[in-house]
Structure 1
Amino acid sequence: MARDGSGGRFEVPCHDEESGWFDASSSCYWRLLEPPPAGDDPVWAGHAPGDGAVYNGQCPGQPLMGGLRWFQNPPPGYGSGPNLEALAEEAVTKMRLLGADIGIAPRQGGTGTVGVPVWVWNAPSPRTTGPTSASATALGVTVTATATVQDVVWNFGNGTALSCPFPGTPYSPAAGLTPPSRANGQCGITGYSRPGDYLVTATTTWAVHWAGGGQQGDLTTTRSSQAPVTIAELQVVGR
């Protein structure tokens, strides 16, 4: 219920797509201002951006009462609608994040040799390494999420696992039989000790930061991908 300039009462909806959420105590609608004003804008009333938020007010029947205003907490009645974390999850779904785009030496479909180093890497792209962003909106509130790969755990199928918080470096013939070095941004192992068929599994952990509706937060999600590798013993042919 809102009041007009003469003190009369009239009904208004609790939420309006254009105006935002209604606050009965002020008889105004408040909508979060996105993007927020510059940090030196007087509307922040001496507060730093991120300390509270700025809202735009529209007051039915009292047009002079609205305008931009800083609030430490959302105005009464605001945010009683969408679940912001659920919107963040929806934004993550829109990104269509993937597991590692696996590169491996010996190459997939080829055959490696016992004791020879195995190199692995994750080919960079927005959906395999990030960063990538997406937004989701409900009831006039928009949440934007940005995802970046935090870590990839490589399991080589022989009981050995390796964590690489970086994409890794593609193998180059110039490396010869040099084992990959994490200190140089390379991922892999010194080699398999037995011949056989192995399945390399890469489990990617994505770190996601979201913001919207005057709030922000973090979440993680994982994706996996696999690649087969065949290892054979070195055959020595005598003369």
Structure 2
Amino acid sequence: MAQEAVTKMRLLGADVGIAPKPGGTGTVGVPVWVWNGPSPQTTGPTSASATALGVTVTATATVQDVVWNFGNGTIVSCPFPGTPYSPSFGLTPPSKAGGQCGIAGYSRVGEYTVAATTTWAVHWVGGGQQGDLTTTRSSQAAVRIGELQVVGQ
């Protein structure tokens, strides 16, 4: 029944926020910021119950962590949920801005898939018993990185 309660919660992977914006183009060497957009299904906590034969089990899920794979061999676990990029951050890398989430920049031009794996910790109670389980959800976003070229006269 705990699994049925988890299913009812409709847990999702991160609602990936990323700078540069999807559909835009970032620049080689410029920081890339990522964060998880808040909602009960992406950041929790959230709860649901399931009942069978007069026994009700209630499960509560909270995000344990989000691991980000930047598609270039860099994988990081960041403070949750992360802070959306603000123009006031300028070219400050996320690691220098209060330990926020992202990377200092890509070193090569290309299209990268940024994948987020969210680990949910679920505690359930019911029928005189309780327990814990873990489940994961994944999501992704694409980012395009270009090169800035200056042509002099």
Q: TM-score, normalised by structure 1?
A: 0.63
State whether residues 79 and 100 of structure 2, in contact with CA within 8 Å, keep that contact through their aligned partners in structure 1.
no
Match of 1:46? Answer: none
Match of 2:103? Answer: 189
Residue 161 of structure 1: CA displacement?
A: 0.4
2:73 to 159, 174, 192: 159
Distance 1:133 1:183 in 2: 33
> Looking at CA atoms only, which structure, 1 or 2, has the larger radius of gyration?
1
2:133 to 215, 219, 224: 219
Question: Structure 1: which 5+ runs fail to align?
Answer: 1-86
Distance 1:206 1:184 in 2: 24
Q: 1:127 to 1:208 in 2, by over 3 A?
A: same
State whether residues 79 and 99 of structure 2, in contact with CA within 8 Å, keep that contact through their aligned partners in structure 1.
no
Q: How many residues align?
A: 153
Q: Aligned to 1:133, what secondary structure does the other structure show?
A: strand
Question: How do residues 80-119 of structure 1 correspond to structure 2 at under 5 angstroms?
Answer: 87-119=1-33
Residue 237 of structure 1: CA displacement?
A: 1.7
Distance 2:136 2:97 in 1: 25
State whether residues 166 and 185 of structure 1, in contact with CA within 8 Å, keep that contact through their aligned partners in structure 2.
no
State whether residues 23 and 143 of structure 2, in contact with CA within 8 Å, keep that contact through their aligned partners in structure 1.
yes
Looking at secondary structure, tell me which structure has more strand per residue: 2
2:45 to 112, 120, 131: 131
Distance 1:200 1:144 in 2: 34
Residue 181 of structure 1: CA displacement?
A: 2.3
Match of 2:113? Answer: 199
| 1:206-239 superposed Cα distances (whole Å, 9 cap, x missing partner) | 0000000111110010000010000011111212
Runs (4+) off by over 3 Å:
none
Amino acid at match of 1:107: K
Amino acid at match of 1:217: G
Q: 1:150 to 1:183 in 2, by over 3 A?
A: farther
- Same amino acid, percent of matched pairs: 85
Match of 1:175? Answer: 89
Distance 1:189 1:177 in 2: 11
State whether residues 114 and 192 of structure 1, in contact with CA within 8 Å, keep that contact through their aligned partners in structure 2.
yes
State whether residues 145 and 209 of structure 1, in contact with CA within 8 Å, keep that contact through their aligned partners in structure 2.
yes
Residue 184 of structure 1: CA displacement?
A: 2.1
Q: 1:214 to 1:165 in 2, by over 3 A?
A: farther
Q: Aligned to 1:177, what secondary structure does the other structure show?
A: coil
Match of 1:121? Answer: 35
Q: TM-score, normalised by structure 2?
A: 0.97
